[in-house]
Amino acid sequence: MMALLCQDIGYVKGICTSDHNNIIATGIGNETIQIPADLSDAALQPYHVDRAKLFIKERFGGKMFAVDADQIIQ
């Protein structure tokens, strides 16, 4: 259920902790890319799955929720 709810969150700019202004985390290691501010969030299409996985790890991988982040991203 959690994976379904988070499947397209990777399209949203600013959702990952490494996102700052036009510098966006790809979700692949520590890699970031620069995206012009006037592009829509659809520009994140090549990265949205990896970004969604990163979002899940960042938001649900700690002690705040009793969920298994690694299980969700598989």
Q: 11 vs 61, which has greater pLDDT?
A: 11
Total domain count, the chain: 1
pLDDT at 9: 94
Amino acid code (one letter) for 60: F
Q: Give the pLDDT confidence of 32-74 residue by residue, as tens digits.
A: 999 998 999 999 999 999 999 999 888 877 666 666 767 777 7
Nearest to 52 by CA among 7, 13, 14: 7
The torsion angles phi and psi of 10, rounded to 5 degrees, stand at -65, -15
Structure tokens at 13: 């700019």
Q: Which domain holds residue 8?
A: 2-73
Q: If you average pLDDT over each of 3-12, 19-28, 57-66, which comes out highest?
A: 19-28
Nearest to 73 by CA among 13, 27, 25: 27
Nearest to 34 by CA among 59, 9, 13, 58: 13
